[in-house]
Chain A
């Protein structure tokens, strides 16, 4: 089900940088201009090639791009469905963080073929958490960083998120670690979410 992920990158490039940026990256990556079908599978190396091509074309590091992709998935109007499905995770940002461990199972309920990395959330003191993302999904840490920052905004919470160092935290090799400090859960109004909007 990596078509969904490839398609998200395609839309992110198109919506964020314009059709020309997408077409250039697609050409450089050997992808047809029409791009990806979200419900189909593609060879796994295509995703890496596309990201590299986009990174070259836009002169931004892959991690920067992926972080923006995470933000885009939550905050762009064309991705409203993703944002809504994430908001089902909890009524406030803290509850949402705690629901992250269920995210792979939730994703599988929606799409049995959609594999997301396992995640573990550990409290480090009262309002500080450490999120460990299992290895095997290159770039997942950067995407999660942008996505969680955007979700904090969505809930109206004030939180500081940082990419942690991996090995020193005792995580498995290749795992991504994020630290999340929740400064104020009710900092701002947040965006409205009603259960029965569809």
Chain B
């Protein structure tokens, strides 16, 4: 004979604030305080009138309830699909009654908020409060991590921008130029290597601040003369490279660069002084050297620049194969 214990309704309510005690006919004999607060009018009501098995099946008899999955039940309050429970039903004597203990399951976080439940609504052995603690702690940690990610992402964007930017002029640097060349999708483009004339005289005669001023003016002119899609890079002290996607003919490119050289040859005031520089440039079109890589094209542009300097500066020359060896 299995041992049997006597337990008062009040003790049962303290032990299980979400229980239902049913008699053999399925009438509710007692309900835990938490459950009673959520669902009114339960005393003496028929269990089957208030609850359905989840997914719509009506509750049959008490003995059927005890048979469902060995007493493991999923219930919802009729007409209140927001009030769903999982629970365990066990036989309870005398007679053919049942004791059903319910819990919110995973819906507990939402239920606590919606029904303003407190510690007193849960048995001290119930881990719901710990679950809520954990939920809140993890939410706080996640918030911090999310904020950290946003800050790091911002830093990354800035760092990436800095990594491709010349700090003095704000033009692209060598790395920025390389990336821009890689990103060119059009088969035809022009590469210009431009070098300032008489820049050293400015630096030596008026000082580095004057030199920096001149570089900033040059950068502004180059930017003003560039078109959408062009890249202007400063790759050395007074060396610049222009990347012009879409350029398939030499004449318009040469005309644009000549205009730039004209503007760069205008006197640049600096305080009471005037800086007089100029520029020489070498041009190469991708169409001239099908299949060549950027390093080769830059070397060709450099050779054309060198030829322009030798021819008397202040001019732009298109690369020709016979310049290659110079």
Contacts and interface: CB of A to CB of B under 8 A. Distances in A.
Interface of A: 37-40, 81, 84-85, 88, 91, 106, 109-111, 194-198
Contacts of A197: 113
Given A195-B112, A195-B129, 17 more contacts: A38-B148, A39-B141, A39-B148, A85-B133, A88-B130, A88-B132, A88-B133, A91-B119, A109-B137, A110-B134, A110-B137, A110-B138, A110-B140, A110-B141, A195-B117, A196-B114, A198-B136
Contacts of A111: 137, 141
Interface in B231-245: none
Contacts, number: 54
A196 B116 contact: yes
The interface centre, meaning the residue of B118, B140, B151 with most chain A CB atoms within 10 A of its CB, is: B140
27 contacts: A37-B148, A38-B144, A39-B141, A39-B144, A81-B136, A85-B137, A85-B140, A88-B129, A88-B130, A88-B133, A88-B136, A91-B119, A91-B120, A106-B133, A109-B133, A109-B134, A109-B137, A110-B134, A110-B140, A110-B141, A111-B141, A196-B112, A196-B114, A196-B117, A196-B132, A198-B135, A198-B136
B145 interface: yes
A195 B145 contact: no
B83 interface: no
B136 to A, nearest CB: 5
Nearest to A88: B133
Nearest to B151: A37
A195 B137 contact: no
- Considering the complex of A and B, which 9 residue pairs feature the smallest CB-CB distances, nearest first? A196-B113, A110-B137, A196-B112, A88-B133, A81-B140, A198-B136, A195-B112, A39-B148, A91-B119
A144 to B, nearest CB: 20
Interface string B99-127: 00000000001001110111110000000
B139 to A, nearest CB: 6
A30 to B, nearest CB: 20
Contacts of B129: 88, 195
Interface in B253-271: none
A81 B134 CA distance: 12
Contacts of A85: 133, 136-137, 140
